[in-house]
Amino acid sequence: MTKNKSRRHFLRNTVVGTAGISLGLNAKSYGQILGSNDRINFGVIGMNSRGGALIDSIQDVKNTTISDICDVDKRVTEKGRERSLRRQEASR
């Protein structure tokens, strides 16, 4: 069982850890990660009006992917998924 740590101890460890990460990674190092800037993934929430237009707009842009689609109505979600897949197939 772990001992409860004080807020001061937690904050100190968080600051030290964040500083260590920020010293090791900078904007130049991000470009060296293969594939890090090759593609943008999008999620679309709500498909009935604006969501459908967003799918079309997003897929018109090179190197973009719609990774997730969500709506409260499962039938609408499925229609959006099918629309997205058709557009992806057409763009290949």
Provide the 8-state DSSP code for 73.
S
Question: Is 56's pLDDT higher than 60?
Answer: yes
Task: Single out the residue of 91, 40, 54, 41 nearest to residue 80, CA to CA.
Answer: 54
For the chain, which residues make up each domain, given as ranges? 7-91
Give helix 74-91 / helix 50-59 axis angle, nearest 10°.
20
**pTM here?**
0.52
Q: Which of 13-22, 46-55, 77-86 has the lowest mean pLDDT?
A: 13-22
Task: Single out the residue of 67, 38, 43 nearest to residue 54, CA to CA.
Answer: 43
At 15-50, the pLDDT tens digits run 766 665 655 555 555 566 666 667 888 888 888 878
